[in-house]
Structure 1
Amino acid sequence: MQPNVIMILIDDLGWMDLSCQGSSFYETPNIDKLCAEGMAFDQAYAACPVCSPSRASILTGKYPARLKVTDWIDHENYHPCRGKLIDAPYVKELPLSEFSLAKAFQEAGYQTWHVGKWHLGKAAAYPQFHGFDVNRGGSWWGHPKKGYFSPYHMENLSDGPEGEYLTDRISSEAISLIQQRDRQRPFFLNLWHYAVHTPLQAKAEDIAYFEAKAKRMGLDQQEPFEIGEAFPIMQKKNQRVTRRIIQSDPVYAAMIKALDDGVGRLMEILKAEALDENTIVIFTSDNGGLATAEHSPTCNFPLSEGKGWMFEGAVREPLFFRWPGKIAAGSVSHALATSPDFYPTLLELCGLPLRPEQHKDGMSLAPVLLHSETELDRGPIFWHYPHYGNQGGTPGSSLRCGKWKYIEFYEDQSVRLFDLEQDLSEAHNAAAEHPDLVSQFHILLHNWLDEVDAEYPKENPNAEQDMA
């Protein structure tokens, strides 16, 4: 039988939010074990610094700019943000014209299940219209609007017993589908957690544990925040960017613990159901950790900034692939990887026909995963975020090419160039030292933007009035 596939996508998990990634405060023994039993990518990226575009990219194999799904999908009139510029327009659903990854699996005879957050449009664009046989918990919501404790009042997920914790429930739903599966057919489980997105809520006993740990480590005696500049948008002009500089929030740590507990339960059921060796498990996140606004619950250091920005903290992600006997345990890849790559990678790993007209922006990682090839013969990877992040970032586009990261910002047409091998924190702008590279990358970036027919922000004629 073809292998089963489980894609575990965490919401807003930062690159440093796991103990196997270097966190000394958060505890993730089960995720660490998953990482140790497979291949970790240390230069993996989400396709966007916010959630919905990355999710659309995973399911289509296309960059968000090509899909025109370039910002988190807003059905409550927060957009367009206005500052010196006005946000670019964007599509607010995963287009039904796309032949999704789930449809490819469904066509190949797989059982296809979506569990958890969707956030890719209203009812007509829900998972069941994109190739999923089952949808448990997926709706237009981008976060649990009624909180993480039942009653959830959530579409496509019944309320549990009062006080049931949503992260636990999402894990249980995934496990029940595996236990009740058709044993004659493989499955694709799209396990997209709502955690660790706000609101910051966790189980009392877990919070207490991390409060005690923070005290033991002396973290409760350290000031966790630096207050920065005013936000660059009219909607938040009276607020200031608040950067977290240490990981010390007990509630956030407890939310991560619940995720880790769920991963542990899931891996146990794979062994109990004799599925362990024939199941590919992928673990990653849709964008970087929330570090500069909305309670700023985590710190992405040594990466710069976080969710909603154009810097590494917004897009560099943990990425692990586990497939016992096929992917070497304890291996690490330095190959560049990005969200559109999942579509062709999973098709190739499962022996299914590739669909190059669909996943045209993705490159299969199978040679790296199966044969430990150190490099992929790929060009740059790209980002286009023509929006203000509500965490403080401003509109821009960027690329990663070899060791170089190149960014153009649209408010002032400024550029940044960083040597990530020497300057992971993006502290030194090397643009003036390498005008030849700036020119080369500008051409590469704009050729790509033209190819995907990118949308751009526009000048705000009322900027002074709006920001007064």
Structure 2
Amino acid sequence: MKPIFLLLFLPLLLSCGEENKPNIILINVDDLGWRDVGFMGSDYYETPNLDKLAAQGMVFYYAYAAAANCAPSRASLMSGMNTPKHRVYTVGSSERGEAKTRRIIPTPNQEFLADSIYTLAEMLWDNGYTNGTFGKWHINEDPLQHGFHVNVGGSQRGNPGSGGYFSPYKIDFIEAGAEGEYLTDRLTDEAIAFLNQNRKEPFFLYLPFYSVHTPIMGKKNLIEKFKDKPGTEGQERADYAAMVASVDENVGRLMTAVDEWGLAEKTLVIFTSDNGGIRDISHQTPLRAGKGSYYEGGIRVPLVIRWPGKINAGTTSYVPVTHMDFYPTIKNIIKGKDREASETLDGIDLSPLFAQQEMDERSLYWHFPIYLEAYNPKEDGGRDPLFRTRPGSVIRKGKWKLHHYFEDDGYELYDLQQDPGETQNLINTHPEVGDQLKTALHAWRRQVDAPVPNEPNPLYEDEFHRKLLNELVVN
């Protein structure tokens, strides 16, 4: 039998423990480019609420998604693991693009996050949090199977479908609203209602907007607002600007609710994007390429973290960080216990950066043993015009970034400090740096058992491939 005084004080002790756990709000916009917001330098898109959020917290200028497209990025964010561990490498088949132009057989893709993986949401559930997700999930059929109590709009679907940004909706787990209701508005309404219902106890609010993913559909009044606004090269689409403006407006609504209910200092807010923007829609100059590519434009993303009292307003960080860092950071902040060994997590705790402390330099890795076909061969900016990426791996350490492509065993080395656009391959002029990064990359692949495909594709036709490339170059 427990002592009577302990029984009397146990509720108070538990309450004090709960009060020390911050609420977590994680806003994950779909396909929002690194420079598609005002606080990252865009002059065309208007994001006053996001700019305000950035001014209230810390902006990370070298933030990276763990993968260059939706499903693997989300799987890594939610698991805290790099792609070789969960084996979600892409959306659908890894055999994307014209078969006659693929030299090797890519690694098979696992479409969903395995049930055995202990997710960020499950860890928070087991540590007393109420969890709600509102929007795109994309890594299994129902997020309730991976640690959420409430789900609105999330399933295996990766986009809202043709015409799907306006009610009646075509996604799962959501009821139709009034005719013409806008999906981004509705998801925010649901998120605010969840916040209101759960604001007295620790909550995890995951808001993965479907915006700004295709189909590009903005509200008419916002499209009209941007129709005559002068753009800059690569950032000039009024319909896309309208979608960005809607995201901004709704993040502002959510932050207003947090502040008005007195939750600001009790709430850690993370704002980011799941991967780089689609270059055919919006350029991320000076970064090269876009979604689906492992050049900087495909994996560099906007990131703001706000936590009043813990993070000074108006601070910045130039330390390279990744979405895989969210899980260990949150786990450390809440002193969370889980049912899995912490070494399965591939990220690190970022909280020292919140206090502007120095951290040891580390390497970041990406692995993509698959193909992703081009969006627009003339716009994508990839290694060749047929694919946004071909099978390979990447390492970034310090200012250096090394690409390794498996088809031709090709290497590309870039100095991101001098050449953020990855235009000058230095593999031949800096062989000692290249060799160091090659050694590190190969060692990491062995450590995580990353598959390196090398079996020739019997459907590949060299003459067809060369002819197609030549036609694209000529045209």
TM-score by length of 2: 0.87
Please say if residues 127 and 337 of structure 2, whose CA atoms lie closer than 8 Å, have aligned partners that are also in contact.
Answer: no
Shift of 1:463: 1.0
Q: The residue matched to 1:114 in structure 2 has which SS?
A: strand
1:182 to partner: Cα distance: 5.9
Which residue of structure 2 lines up, in the alignment, with residue 202 of structure 1? 218
Is it true that 1:301 corresponds to 2:289 in the alignment? no
> 2: distance between equivalents of 1:416 and 1:297?
26
Does structure 1 residue 153 correspond to structure 2 residue 165? no
Aligned to 1:20: 39
Give the length in aligned residue pairs.
427
- Among 409, 425, 428, the residue aligned to 1:429: 425
CA distance in 2, matches of 1:260, 1:324: 20
Q: Which residue of 2 aligns with 1:318?
A: 302
Q: Secondary structure at the match of 1:431?
A: coil
Matches within 5 A, 1:63-74: 63-72=82-91, 74=92
Match of 1:29 among 29, 44, 48: 48
The superposition leaves residues 367-426 of structure 1 with CA deviations (integer Å, 9 ceiling, x where unpaired) of 111x2113x224211001112223332222101001101101122221111111111111
For 2:243, the equivalent position in structure 1 comes to: 255
Larger mean CA deviation between 343-352 and 103-112 belongs to: 343-352
Q: Which runs of 5+ in 1 are unaligned?
A: 220-244
User: Could you tell me how far apart the structure 1 residues matched to 2:219 and 2:104 are?
Assistant: 42
Please state how far the C-alpha of 1:359 moved relative to its aligned partner.
4.5
1:385 aligns with 2:368: yes
Partner of 1:237: none
Q: Please give the alpha-carbon distance, in whole angstroms, between the structure 1 residues aligned to 2:51 and 2:419.
A: 26
Alpha-carbon distance in 2 for matches of 1:103, 1:258: 30
Contact 2:95 2:370 in 1 (8 A): no
User: Which one of the candidate residues 336, 349, 367 is aligned to 1:352?
Assistant: 336
- Contact kept in structure 1, 2:31 and 2:291, CA below 8 Å: yes
User: What is the rounded CA distance, in whole Å, between the counterparts of 1:356 and 1:433 in structure 2?
Assistant: 43
Alignment of 1:129-208 (within 5 A): 129-146=145-162, 147-181=164-198, 183=200, 185-208=201-224
Q: Distance in 2 between matches of 1:80 and 1:197?
A: 19
Which residue number in structure 2 is paired with residue 54 of structure 1? 73
> Alpha-carbon deviations, 1:267-299, whole Å to 9, x = none?
1001121111111100111110101xxxx2111
Partner Cα separation in structure 1 for residue 169 and residue 213 of structure 2 = 15
1:115 aligns with 2:139: no
Q: For 1:439, give the aligned amino acid.
A: D
Partner in structure 2 of residue 225 of structure 1? none
In the alignment, residue 411 of structure 1 is paired with which amino acid? E
SS at match of 2:177: coil
Q: Out of 300-309 and 382-391, give the one that drifted further.
A: 382-391
Is the partner of 1:171 in helix, strand or coil?
helix
Measure the CA separation in 2 of the matches of 1:254 and 1:390: 27
Secondary structure of 1:210's match? helix
- The aligned residue for residue 88 of structure 1 is 107
Counterparts of residues 276-291 of structure 1 (less than 5 Å): 276-291=264-279
Distance 2:366 2:131 in 1: 29
Contact (CA 8 Å) 2:138, 2:155: kept in 1 or not? yes
Partner residue, 1:235: none
For the pair shown, the structure with the greater C-alpha radius of gyration is 2
Residue 349 of structure 1, CA deviation: 2.2
Q: Supply the AA of the counterpart residue of 1:362.
A: G
Alignment check: 8 A CA contact 1:399 1:445 kept: yes
Aligned to 1:236: none
**Displacement after TM superposition at 1:358 (Å):** 5.7
In structure 2, the residue matched to 1:127 is 143
TM-superposed CA distance for 1:79, in Å, is: 4.1
Name the CA distance, whole Å, in 1 between partners of 2:319 and 2:114: 30
- Equivalent residue in structure 1 for 2:461, among 432, 450, 464: 464
How many Å separate the matches in 2 of 1:42 and 1:108? Answer: 31
What SS does the aligned partner of 2:160 have?
A: coil
How far residue 159 of structure 1 moved from its aligned partner, in angstroms, is 1.0
Once the two structures are superposed, residues 120-148 of structure 1 have per-residue CA deviations (whole angstroms, 9 ceiling, x without a partner) of 02x3xx21111101111101100001421
Report the RMSD for the aligned CA atoms in angstroms: 1.7
Secondary structure in 2 aligned to 1:364?
A: coil
SS at match of 1:206: helix
Give how far 1:92 is off.
1.1
1:367 corresponds to which of 328, 349, 352: 352
**Cross-structure match for 2:15:** none
Question: Taking structure 1 as reference, are residues 289 and 414 closer, same or farther at Cα in structure 2, changes over 3 Å only?
Answer: same
Counterpart amino acid of residue 330 in structure 2: L
Q: Which moved more, 1:392-401 or 1:449-458?
A: 449-458
C-alpha contact (below 8 Å) 2:94/2:370 kept by paired residues: no
Instruction: Answer yes or no: is the 8 Å Cα contact 1:80–1:86 preserved in 2.
Output: no
Preserved CA contact (<8 Å) 2:391 2:406: yes
Q: Distance in 1 between matches of 2:373 and 2:194?
A: 36
Is the 1:89–1:455 Cα contact (8 Å) retained in structure 2? no
**Quick one: distance in 2 between partners of 1:78 and 1:70?**
8
Separation (CA, whole Å) in 2 of partners of 1:395 and 1:168: 38
Structure-1 separation of matches of 2:137 and 2:450: 24
Distance across 2 between alignment mates of 1:156 and 1:456: 38
Q: 2:442 aligns with which of 446, 454, 458?
A: 446
The 1-side partners of 2:41 and 2:257 are apart by 28
Secondary structure at the aligned position of 1:344 is classed as helix
- The 8 Å contact of residues 290 and 298 in structure 2, kept in 1 or not, is answered as yes
Distance 1:378 1:60, change over 3 A: farther
Structure-1 separation of matches of 2:330 and 2:199: 21
Deviations 1:336-387 (A, max 9, x none): 1112111010112223247653652110001111x2113x224211001112
Deviations along 1:237-273, one digit per CA (max 9) or x if unpaired, are: xxxxxxxx52101111000000000000001001121
Code of the residue aligned with 1:368 in structure 2: it is: L
Secondary structure of 2:228's counterpart equals helix
Question: Partners of 1:331 and 1:156 in 2: how far apart?
Answer: 39
- Which residue in the other structure is 2:11 paired with? none
Q: Which residue of 2 aligns with 1:338?
A: 322
Whole-angstrom distance in 2 between the partners of 1:24 and 1:198: 22
Q: CA deviation at 1:86?
A: 3.1
